[in-house]
Structure 1
Amino acid sequence: MTYGKLISIKRNGGVYEAEIEVKLEPKPGQFITLVFPKFEVPLSIGDYVDGVLYVHFSSEKIYQLLSKRMEVMVKGPLGRPIALGKKVLGIAEGGLYYDILFPLREAKRKGSEVAVNCKGCRSEFREPLKGETWDTVIASVRDYKALPSKSLVYVRWVKMNCMMGVCGVCEVKGNLPCVEGPFLEVERLVDKG
Structure 2
Amino acid sequence: MLIKEFCAENYTDIPAAIHAGAKRIELCDNLAVGGTTPSTGVIEEVLSYAGEKNVPVMTMIRPRGGDFIYNDIELKIMHTDLIEAKKIGTDGVVFGCLTPSGWLDEEALELLIDTAEGLQITFHMAFDSIPAARQFEAIDWLAEHGVDRILTHGGAAGTNILDNLPRLKELTNYAAGRLLILPGAGITYENVDQIVTELDAKEAHGTKIVNLAE
Normalising by the smaller structure, the TM-score range is: 0.3 to 0.5
The normalised TM-score by structure 1 is 0.33
The normalised TM-score by structure 2 is 0.30
